[in-house]
Structure 1
Amino acid sequence: MVNPEIDHIQSRHLLNFIDGQWASSEGGLTRPNVNPADARDVIGDFAESGGVDTDRAVEAAAAALPDWQALGPIRRSRYLTAAGRLLERRAELFARTITREQGKLLSEARGEVERAIAILEFTSGEARRMNGVTTPAEEERTWAITFRKPIGVVGLVSPWNFPLAIPMWKVAPALLSGCTAVLKPSPFTPLTSALLVDLFQDAGVPAGVLNLVQGDAAAGEALVAHPLVAGISFTGSPGVGAAIHRGGAHRLLRTQLELGGKNAVLILDDADLDKAVDAVMKGAFGQAGQRCSATSRVVVDVQVKEEFLRRLVPRVSALRVGPGVDPLSQICPVVNTDRMDACLEAISTAQDQGGKVLCGGDRVTDGLPEGCYVAPTVIDDVAWDSELAQEEVFGPVLSVIEAHGFEDALRIANSVRYGMSGTVFTASLVRAFEAVERLDAGMLHVNRPGVGAYAHLPHVGAKASQYGPPECSPQVWDFYTEWRSACLAY
């Protein structure tokens, strides 16, 4: 079933992009890409790559490295600026493509495009600040300086939940730093990445500087194993991130890993409940909960819990589930049947462990095409140490956990192995600052939704959510570059 709204897709976008050329995978292997909102819509059969394809891409990146590095950051930034202008003109194409293959609401997809543009603007501006320092020398007629050098070829392994923004916040700093790159996106969202690579090609980025290898584990494993790859930036599951880290440890491969979260919103006894409900609605059910910073736990004081649920549950029950292109839809499908099944299994397990489903809890089919629709779900009486409270679901499933005072709420929030986002609702300035100080999370919020941040604030987690320098920040250069020092006598 062809979607007539996407008319710029060409056959080349089904392929890999290596050394400035679109090419089939070795052996011509392919994988179908299906619209999660409508299983009849097969977007295309995309290249399924292996080690041979990855090796070719890495070798092309290595060959392009000296000339790209020699340009310097200011001239390299002009390519990012050009790409940003092209993205502004192609914004609707990207948004509709994201919605078609990932499933999110069109409004959410447009927001993702805007974030990608902001990332390019921010990163381009960093070109004139990638400086070292001049320090005093111990000898006369001597200068002592420090400066940065790109680490070399990098592998960029990106997820499906933000198929434009997350690759962009890897590609942009990689290229500006002087690295050359091989992008290996999720096999669930290959088309958006193909259009991203097209964007940089049309912006004039030289052949070999940015390469694209489509596929799943075989391509990723070959990228980690290749001796010419100096670093891997990965966003995805903790298991895969740990495997990447182990796989490159023997050769001291540099890794940057963002690995998910089990994020809590603390609602204290003095919270503004209307604001808290608004924030939980956005944090838990925006993009069907498929965000590393999504609100998956509400830790609510016993004194206000009943009233909070009285206000929350009717609003969740009223959410309209449907395709992302339908302007009446308020919550989108999850990305595929595996994710749908995982959500339903988590709900069932929570019920077996004593949880009470207040709304949702099942698949939605009435009046919808055959897709991956899960009803937005609120589960009460969740034990703080149960599976649902401890493990990431990555879907529209919210657990409600009762707390007895501020200290108990902090204890529960910090009880998980993750530490991506932490949020508190309170009227007390003292407790707000104390929560910011004591929550074990990388991105902290007070009296606002606990998802997202600005394009220039570090996207960073704590504990098992993060390893290596944060992305979307000046600190990202500590991944893509390494320091040098020099003493110059004259």
Structure 2
Amino acid sequence: MTTSQPPAAADTEDREHYRMLIDGTWRDAADSRRFDSVNPFDGTHWADVPLAGEADVDAAVRAARAAFDNGTWPATTPARRAQLLRRLGDLITERADDLARVQVLENGKLIREVSGQTRALAGHCYFYAGVAETMHGHTLAGSVPDMHVFTVREPIGVVAAITPWNSPLALLLWKLCPALAAGNTMVIKPSEITPVSTLLLGELITEAGFPAGVVNIVTGEGATGAALARHPGVDKIAFTGSTAVGKTIAVTAAERLARVSLELGGKSPNIIFSDADLPNAVNGVLAGVFAATGQTCMAGSRVLVQQNIYDMFAAALVERTEQIKIGDPLDPDTEMGTVACQSQHTKVLDYIAIARDEGATLLAGGKRPEDPALAKGLFVEPTVFGDVTNDMRIAREEVFGPVAVLIPFTDEAHAVEIANDTPFGLAAGVWTTDVARAHRMVRRLRAGTVWVNNYRKTNYVAPFGGFRESGLGRENGMDAVNEYTEVKTAWIDLGNRITDPFNPRA
């Protein structure tokens, strides 16, 4: 089994070449097609990867199927699974700088954020290593005499993990670690915008000693993901991405009753009450929508502000927004990087135009930066709109860019009404010094995560997922294990005789 990529060749543009991981070997696409990875900061085509077709997807699924059906992985002892996950965590720590840098080259996210995020991934490996060793069922107190009844949790089978471009490795590990801990095998399809970082992680997976076929990686575009989702050999699809694509995957899976977990879009409210610590709330709004260039499903892009502090808060937010340093995402001093790709850049600028047409008042940003040094990059100024009502498209549709909209509210009930008036339900933020109000808001907000006096905090112990059109299922924590296991119930007769075959309770 080859544990690392072949030496990266380079063409006249110093482009790096990568291969896919299928059944423990690094391969090109069956038809030799490839596509480029483009740096959104300077437009360079810095790497290329295989464009997988249906034959490649089939080979990857067959490899995962064989590794599951022949017992290679599910029959591996929990202690051995845990050992390999811990080894993977160690390797991620050793290669964290390389993994972080490649993600920045792919999607323009800040190195100051990605570095810490990448190092934290080792914690996911260690946590689920412990889960692998402690997973258990339950002994049940049944009402039938002389019967021992218990449950066990077993892996589902082959898992297809289809991952996004905004946090490619973090959102992959949310799936990879619990799936492997439970004994599943996997085929991973990363976003076409960020394939290289996942392939580098594949090197670490093979170096850690995972058996061939347990983890496979195919790279490609939408057609590759669609071929993987509809493959009859896939037992469960774990997807993070847009609500529209998630719905399509759900329909595809329903045709064969495959399991799904879907972490989808959001239009999350970030609610500022008049008793909040305002400087802290301003920083919280910046963290919620500008720190990741707004390219996060949990972005707190609907900023609800109590009417009696609205003008003061808007002025403070605009002042701080205009101070944000835009620039090279590899520069540790940069505070906001690029949008990840050309199509997303166009989409964000289109939504800014829509907001203006709807009558929203532009308070900050709203265009590409004028600095000639940034001309090659896919930049959008951090943008704030005021005079927004919750029926405007800019308040209802996911922009996935650095655009915040300010919506006034009168009292707590009004804030809840506006916050819950959305098809989504992924996250929400509440800023208040009133502890009783904080608890009331947590109960009343229809969202999978509610932050109080903070925003965008996640951890491997804390379940994450959405209500309504923000998705199905939960990632992280012990709840994630339920997404990758089936429950089996066993009945053991301790001495009964069947006296009436037509009455199961006799």
TM range (shorter): over 0.9
Q: Which letter maps to 1:337?
A: Q
TM-score, structure 1 length as denominator?
0.95
Q: Secondary structure at the match of 2:271?
A: strand
What residue in structure 1 maps to residue 389 of structure 2?
383
Of stretches 123-132 and 392-401 in structure 1, the one that deviates more from structure 2 is: 123-132
Give the distance between the partners of 1:96 and 1:267, measured in 2 at CA: 35
TM-score, structure 2 length as denominator?
0.92
Match of 1:62 among 65, 69, 85: 65
Cα displacement string for residues 52-102 of structure 1 (whole angstroms, at most 9, x for unaligned residues) = 110000000011112211113222111110000011110111111111111
Residues 265, 297 of structure 1: 8 Å contact kept: yes
- Deviation of 1:173 (Å): 1.2
What residue in structure 1 maps to residue 22 of structure 2?
18
Aligned residues: 481
Residues 115, 455 of structure 1: 8 Å contact kept: no
Match runs of 1:185-200 below 5 Å: 185-200=190-205
Give the distance between the partners of 2:274 and 2:18, measured in 1 at CA: 54
What residue in structure 2 maps to residue 116 of structure 1?
121
- Deviation of 1:369 (Å): 5.0
Give the distance between the partners of 1:142 and 1:421, measured in 2 at CA: 45
Distance 1:44 1:365, change over 3 A: farther
Residues 143, 488 of structure 1: 8 Å contact kept: yes
- Deviation of 1:444 (Å): 0.4
- Deviation of 1:115 (Å): 2.7
Q: Secondary structure at the match of 1:28?
A: coil
Q: 1:440 and 2:446 equivalent? A: yes
Note the residue ranges of structure 2 that are not aligned, 5 or more in a row.
10-15, 495-506
Cα displacement string for residues 174-225 of structure 1 (whole angstroms, at most 9, x for unaligned residues) = 1111111000000000010001111110000010000000001221111122
Cα displacement string for residues 259-312 of structure 1 (whole angstroms, at most 9, x for unaligned residues) = 011011111122221111011111110110111111101100110011111211
Residues 72, 211 of structure 2: 8 Å contact kept: no
What residue in structure 2 maps to residue 135 of structure 1?
140
Cα displacement string for residues 308-333 of structure 1 (whole angstroms, at most 9, x for unaligned residues) = 11211111011111111123311010
Match of 1:176 among 181, 187, 192: 181
Match runs of 1:222-261 below 5 Å: 222-261=227-266
What residue in structure 2 maps to residue 480 of structure 1?
484
Identity %: 38
What residue in structure 2 maps to residue 50 of structure 1?
53
Distance 1:180 1:79, change over 3 A: same
What residue in structure 1 maps to residue 40 of structure 2?
36
Give the distance between the partners of 2:457 and 2:53, measured in 1 at CA: 34
Match of 1:331 among 332, 336, 344: 336
Report which of the two structures shows the higher radius of gyration computed on alpha carbons: 2
Pairwise CA RMSD of aligned residues?
1.6
Match of 1:430 among 436, 450, 454: 436
Of stretches 267-276 and 179-188 in structure 1, the one that deviates more from structure 2 is: 267-276
Q: Which letter maps to 1:225?
A: R
Match of 1:156 among 135, 151, 161: 161
Match of 1:371 among 349, 373, 377: 377
Residues 157, 184 of structure 1: 8 Å contact kept: yes
Give the distance between the partners of 1:326 and 1:364, measured in 2 at CA: 17
Match of 1:144 among 146, 149, 157: 149
Give the distance between the partners of 2:340 and 2:370, measured in 1 at CA: 16
- Deviation of 1:13 (Å): 6.2
Q: Secondary structure at the match of 1:164?
A: helix
Runs of 4+ aligned residues of structure 1 deviating over 6 Å after TM superposition are none
Give the distance between the partners of 2:33 and 2:410, measured in 1 at CA: 56
Give the distance between the partners of 1:76 and 1:13, measured in 2 at CA: 31
Residues 300, 429 of structure 2: 8 Å contact kept: no
Give the distance between the partners of 1:85 and 1:430, measured in 2 at CA: 43
Q: Secondary structure at the match of 2:316?
A: helix
Note the residue ranges of structure 1 that are not aligned, 5 or more in a row.
1-6
